[in-house]
Amino acid sequence: MLPKDPVMLLSFINLKLRDFYPNFATLCDDLDADQAEIVEKLAAIDYHYDEGKNQFV
C-alpha cells in the first residue's frame, strides 16, 4: 500500500527508485500502482520525475 500523504509518498517512491528499481515505470508495474496518480500527487507538491536521476525532484 502506498502512503496517502504526498510528502510520505515522495519519500517512499524515491527510496524505492534509489534502492530497488531502474525506472519509475518498472516500480509502478511491480507495485501495481497507478503511474498517473502518483505523478499527479507529486506534481501537486511541485515534484516531477527526472529520468536521468531516477528520482522525483
Select the more confidently predicted residue: 1 or 13. 13
Predicted structure pTM score:
0.95
Predicted pLDDT of residue 13:
98
Backbone conformation region of residue 54, classed left if phi is above 0, alpha if psi is from -120 to 50, else beta: left
